[in-house]
Amino acid sequence: MGRALIMFSVCLYFLGCQSFPDPPVSFLSGLRVLGVRADPPQVAIGEGGIVKVLTVDTTGEMAAASWSRCLRAPLAGDAVNPDCVTQPSAAFLQPIGDGLSVTTTMPADAPAAAGQPDATGGVYSPLVARVTDPTDTVLAVYRWRLRTDDSTPANANPSIASLYALDASGAPSPLDEATPPVVQAGDVLTLGVTFAPGSAETYSSAGAAPATEVLTTSWFGTAGVFSVERTSDAQPHTVLRLDQRLESAAQSPTGLIDLYAVAHDERGGTDFIHRALQLK
pLDDT in tens, 95-150: 999 999 999 999 999 998 898 999 899 999 999 999 999 999 999 999 999 998 88
What DSSP letter does each residue of the chain carry, written as one string?
-HHHHHHHHHHHHSTT-----SS-TTB--SEEEEEEEEESSEE-TT-EEEEEEEEEETT-PPPEEEEEEE-SPPPTT-SS-THHHH-SS-TTEEEEEESSEEEEE--TTHHHHH-S--TTS--EEEEEEEEE-SS-EEEEEEEEEEP--TTSPPP----EEEEEEE-TTS-EEEPPSSSPPEE-TT-EEEEEEEE-TT-S-EE--TTS--EEPPPEEEEEESSSEES-SEE-SSS--EEEE-SS--HHHHHSSS-EEEEEEEEE-TTS-EEEEEEEEEE-
| pLDDT < 50 regions, the chain | 1-19
pLDDT in tens, 210-235: 999 999 999 999 999 999 999 999 99
The answer, as to whether pTM is greater than 0.85, is yes
Predicted local distance difference test score (pLDDT) of residue 20: 57
